[in-house]
Chains A and B, each alone.
Chain A
Amino acid sequence: MTDLERRQDRAPVPSGWDYAPAPEARDIVTLEDRYGVFIGGELVDPRSGEYFPTLDPSTEEPLAEVAQAGTEDVDLAVHAARDAFENGWSGISPAERAKYLFRIARILQERSREFAVLESLNGGKPIKESRDVDLPLSAAHFFYYAGWADKLEYAFPNRRPKPVGVAGQIIPWNFPLLMLAWKVAPALAAGNTVVLKPAETTPLTALLFADVLRQAELPPGVVNIVTGDGRTGAEIVKHENVDKIAFTGSTEVGKAIQRELAGTGKKLTLELGGKAANIIFDDAALDQAVEGIVNGIYFNQGHVCCAGSRLLVQESIYEPVIEKLKKRLQTLRLGDPLDKNTDIGAINSKMQLDKITELVAAGKDEGAEIYQPPCRLPEKGYWFVPTVFTNVAQSYRIAQEEIFGPVLSVLTFRTPDEAIEKANNTPYGLSAGVWTEKGSRILSMAQKLKAGVIWANTYNRFDPSSPFGGYKESGFGREGGLHGLEPYLELDESEARGG
């Protein structure tokens, strides 16, 4: 044997495999130093004269300055929307409206990499998620609703659908572009015009979207984008020339909006928080169920209203599930959101990080047992290690309150009825997961769970044709599907009632 051969024969087993950095190129995005507000088809300086920085949460590096839109700015935006509604948009034939939306969808597909990088940069989510989930779904939403624009009479037969007018839309920071698509696409398809406020910490993809509207040649004023914090949102809600409000965000703010609108007759839809139960039966396909648990709570760092944040595992299968889960957590890769191999990105803001930290401390104090895989956090930026709490009681804060972070609380159950009881024992009702190989049990659980979206043998699946929304304090109204058009239409019933 030669030396070489001897070496090969005795080649030692490696102790690990370091996947070299695989960064997505950042230079595809061009950032301005400062952005105004997008009103009447143009980016203009805010009348308020106020700006604030927006950051990359993985490095705390400021990316740009964006406007803090004030009362006057919101007023201008609403007027532009009203103007466009009255003098253009609702008069355009529905088939032509559809074509604008198809254009927007196609342009988003064409510029998808640019948007994905910007989304990860500004929001902290891994590039593989913005690239493979957020962008394709955003384009798909526009494509889907484009098709309804000139078919409303089939969606609502006999009801003479008409647009409501100007829609005020306030969206969250967890899926900035996708939430924009969920709001804008159906609103426009139904013939409305829009004033949209992106979340305070994630304005950039919405502002880049204004450029897509330019390329699509959308008539000015149909979509207006005003950036700012909660004060800007409040202005939109209060404005008397807005006909409908759509809000996605925390339950607390949702209730405030509902109170504000009481007595005004304005239409409202709310998509609020959740504390979903992810229920694993002992006959589940185990390895796939574990993958589903991980997807349910660690996808997007747990910043998901429908996250499976409570694992309800049948006691007979408790040990194998927890064991596999802990092992699986050890292969999660946390780090630079722009690295293609990153699974867990940054927490969106300092505020959110503080909230997660506080609740996790409460969990420990109340007596739950914590597990976190070994994980080295970067020095700068907002990060939280994926966490599992076992020995959790139903009454602990970590089992009741929405954490909105990568923290899973594990509880057990013995029978299907007990699972239902525990799953439904919450003021929330957005989503739930059921894992079992038995078909009849899936359907029985689906029937009894008080949640607007039920995932069986899967989790966190979204599609523009599939209605999404909550029961109880998780909000009301549905987004997606034929049902997602309803909040944006005036539906006449006089014909049905016989005149």
Chain B
Amino acid sequence: MTRLPVKKTYKLFVGGEFPRSESGRTYEAQGQNVARGSRKDLRDAVRAARGAVGKWSGMTAYNRGQVLYRIAEMMEARTAEFAELSSGTSEVEEAIDRWVWYAGWADKYAQVLGSSNPVAASYFNFTVPEPTGVVGVLAPESPALGGIVARLAPVIVGGNTAVVLASESEPLAAIELAEAIATADVPGGVVNILTGHRSELAPWLAGHMDVNALDIGGSDGDAPELERLAAENVKRVVRGQADRQSPYEIANFLELKTVWHPIGV
């Protein structure tokens, strides 16, 4: 007799845990019932993300780099599962290497993006980059895994926390990613992933007054409306690309702070 497999229940990833949608709804995607997140789930996710900012941004850059590297370690172990849920092994390997690439930036971007400035008076003047806070990300519809990783890594390496709306048509890879993240020593709330209907959730994310920046690269024609909503609290709006990696992707989500101090006996 063939053995009946135990099927996975695909839930949301909020605050380091896997709750069902408070609305109790699901929708079908890739042959599975997937949680259909509501605006209240989104509200909870933002709250979790905000709660995690202090701890995540307070960790040393070295520590953050190590955590990102561990996400890569956890993904590598699940390569076969990820391959099933995406276009295949090469997309998975690229995504893993993407985490490694960004992990290496954690304790370096400050040296490339910051500066000490030779002002024309007896002051020591320096500029340092700092995380902006909570970032909302609309993951690209596709590639299912490569897209979300390419947009999530530069956000969190800089010390920000994220609320991500997963691809609507191919959400399973995102939840698998959440499982890898949940076992990678990432503090709860740093990454929050919601599955559901994009058109329902995106406006709530774009208009949320406690979200500091918005990556609308994965939006689908509704970008102008989302940008308009984002203006209400002057969010930093970024049109992220899934095929790009650079320290300037990190810089998009950083603020620059300049400090002056006199030099004298």
Contacts and interface: CB of A to CB of B under 8 A. Distances in A.
Contact of B264 (A140, A440, A465, A481): A440
A465 B261 CA distance: 23
Interface stretch (A143-151, A176-184, A232-240): A143-151
A444 interface: yes
Residue of A151, A155, A417, A464 with highest tally of chain B CB at under 10 A: A151
B262 interface: yes
A95 B96 CA distance: 12
Interface in B93-113: 97, 100-101, 103-108, 111-112
Contacts of B108: 144, 147-148, 151, 465, 482
A112 to B, nearest CB: 14
Interface stretch (B40-48, B61-69, B194-202, B225-233): B61-69
Q: For the complex, would chain A's binding face be called helix, strand, loop or mixed by DSSP majority? A: helix
B107 A144 contact: yes
A447 B261 CA distance: 13
A481 B69 contact: no
A143 B262 contact: no
A185 B37 CA distance: 46
Contacts of B103: 147
Interface in A432-469: 439-441, 443-444, 447, 464-465
B contact residues, range: 20 to 34
A102 interface: yes
A10 B113 CA distance: 67
Contact of A444 (B97, B106, B247, B263): B263
Given A140-B62, A154-B247, A465 B69 contact: no
Given A140-B62, A150-B104, A416 B265 contact: yes
Given A140-B62, A144-B62, A440-B261, A95 B101 contact: yes
Contacts of A151: 101, 104-105, 108, 247
A98 interface: yes
Given A441-B264, A443-B124, A154 B112 contact: yes
A482 B247 CA distance: 14
A135 to B, nearest CB: 14
A94 to B, nearest CB: 10
A481 B114 CA distance: 14
Contacts of A95: 97, 100-101
Interface string B57-76: 00001100110010000000
